Chain A
Amino acid sequence: MTIRKICELLEARVITGEDKLDNEMDTAFSSDMMSDVLAYVTGRTVLLTGTVNEHVIRTAEMVDVECVVFVRAKLPSQEVIDRAVEDGIVLLSTPHTLYVTSGILYSNGLPGIGRRKYQDASD
């Protein structure tokens, strides 16, 4: 799914990264915990989050996340935007909640990153 399509479905504002809207995303991951993003995200994944600080951009950079969607109409500070511009990361903001944002993308065919295993080896 292209970032442009994600943007349309979520009625999102493009904060930065207009030139990358035709890039394709294979999966999505929703989390406010950047620790979990670092632990689980691989590949061309769009990050959906209600956390709006510079650490989100740094985390995205480390795991090669190209597109971050801020939910609940949250808008980042100029410092956060500047860092995203520097790292070439697309930032979107949607008025929907994290649950609804995830549901819209999932029901339109963008899958999640797959199930995780329990540490005690049960399933």
Chain B
Amino acid sequence: MPLINERYDVKKDDFVSAGEASAKIKRTLKKLGADPVVMRRVSVCAYEVELNLIIHSLGGCIDFTVDSDQVTLLVTDIGPGIPDLDLAMSEGWSTASEEVRNMGFGAGMGLPNMKRNADAFEIQSTVGVSTTILMKFKLAA
């Protein structure tokens, strides 16, 4: 039985709510007394992926699970899928609009930053169907 199992829906283009899911995730971890370094890494990944859902997807959700030894973020969207994952994973490459860049995002750092901060990172994408990202973080022993 996980200690926490929550789902956050994230809507396309919903910049007004951007960060709300991640802030809730961070507050939950804080209440659980999680290690500050782990908490920061989970928060950064949650925020990056939440922004990705808003900027690039047609909408999706973040499933946030806390077990005794790890935190899991499972992210699923409803498309449009990423045609070239290797390109998407390289720093500095982004398809974000000028409007998004003016807000301070779309530097092409998101996916590589998630991979760097998570202990395990898996991404799968099918064009025209969906993208799924699974991130795991070990809780300090």
Known: A38-B44, A63-B40, A63-B44. A58 touches B104 (CB 8 A): no
Q: What's the Cα separation between A59 and B90 when bound, in Å?
A: 22
**Interface footprint category on B:** 20 to 34
Confirm or deny: B19 has a beta carbon within 8 angstroms of a beta carbon on chain A: yes
B51 to chain A, nearest CB (A): 8
Contact of B19 (CB < 8 Å), options: A35, A42, A62: A62
Confirm or deny: B77 has a beta carbon within 8 angstroms of a beta carbon on chain A: no
Which B residues touch A39, using CB under 8 A? 107, 109, 112-113, 116
Confirm or deny: A18 has a beta carbon within 8 angstroms of a beta carbon on chain B: no
Q: Are B36 and A58 in contact (CB under 8 A)?
A: no
In the complex, the number of residue pairs spanning A and B with C-beta atoms less than 8 Å apart equals 70
Q: Are B90 and A35 in contact (CB under 8 A)?
A: no
Q: Are A33 and B104 in contact (CB under 8 A)?
A: yes
Q: Are A58 and B19 in contact (CB under 8 A)?
A: yes
A103 to chain B, nearest CB (A): 22
Confirm or deny: B67 has a beta carbon within 8 angstroms of a beta carbon on chain A: no
Q: Are B103 and A61 in contact (CB under 8 A)?
A: no
Q: Are B113 and A58 in contact (CB under 8 A)?
A: no
Considering only residues 13-60 of chain A, those with a C-beta below 8 Å from chain B are 32-39, 42, 49, 51, 53, 55-56, 58-59
Q: Are B18 and A36 in contact (CB under 8 A)?
A: no
Which B residues touch A59, using CB under 8 A? 19, 47, 104
Q: Are B40 and A64 in contact (CB under 8 A)?
A: yes
Q: What's the Cα separation between A25 and B108 when bound, in Å?
A: 28
Which A residues touch B107, using CB under 8 A? 33, 35-36, 39
A95 to chain B, nearest CB (A): 22
Confirm or deny: A107 has a beta carbon within 8 angstroms of a beta carbon on chain B: no
Q: What's the Cα separation between A58 and B44 when bound, in Å?
A: 10
Considering only residues 1-58 of chain B, those with a C-beta below 8 Å from chain A are 15, 18-19, 22-23, 26, 36, 40, 43-44, 46-48
Q: What's the Cα separation between A54 and B11 when bound, in Å?
A: 18
Confirm or deny: A119 has a beta carbon within 8 angstroms of a beta carbon on chain B: yes
A: residues with CB less than 8 A from B are: 32-39, 42, 49, 51, 53, 55-56, 58-59, 61-64, 119
B: residues with CB less than 8 A from A are: 15, 18-19, 22-23, 26, 36, 40, 43-44, 46-48, 90-91, 103-110, 112-113, 116
